[in-house]
Amino acid sequence: MKRSLKLISAILLFGIIIAVFLYIQINKPYSEIINLNWSIKLPDSYKVIYSTDSGASFHGDGQRYHIFEYKNENKISQTLNWINAKNAAVESEINEVLNNLNVTKENMPDYGKEYKYYIRTKEDSSKIYLIFAADTRKLYIIEDIY
């Protein structure tokens, strides 16, 4: 009797530990996921104002899109080595991903305004595009993962 009670207690404790771990993993801020996947450390002082993706995938591949809004432009401006120029080729690549995700026009980056961008490419050709519009303090995060 005591042995089965200990076994049941151990199983319950193990289940609680797994549940807490999963809860923490699911509720991580997306900036932490970007850091884990891309080694890009973004400031945590943002609000997610839009998010969509191509759906769950066994291998974690697919396309993802997030818009973060920052209160302070300085923190995000100092985070990366931004390129301060418009780039039609980059805009086209981003639009291809966003069109695949059926992103509405109001949630697309406004390329008519000033922006700066940053791109990181992995060995498998996966890419992350970061577009920052300083006037709105919005950071557009586009991931195309293979």
* The predicted structure's pLDDT at residue 96: 97
Range of the domain at 111: 29-145
Is residue 17 in some structural domain? no
Least confident of 26-30, 45-49, 92-96, 103-107: 26-30
Is residue 1 in some structural domain? no
Is 75 exposed, middle or buried (CB count within 10 Å of its CB: 0-12, 13-18, 19+)?
middle
* The predicted structure's pLDDT at residue 20: 55
Is residue 109 in some structural domain? yes
Q: How many domains does the chain have?
A: 1
Is residue 116 in some structural domain? yes
Is residue 135 in some structural domain? yes
Question: What confidence tens digit (pLDDT) does each residue in 88-114 have?
Answer: 999 999 999 999 999 999 999 999 999
CA distance 120 to 37: 11
* pLDDT, mean of residues 18-40: 77
CA distance 127 to 145: 6
Q: Which helix (H) or strand (E) holds 48?
A: strand 46-53
Is residue 78 in some structural domain? yes
How large a percentage of the chain has pLDDT more than 70? 92
Is residue 127 in some structural domain? yes
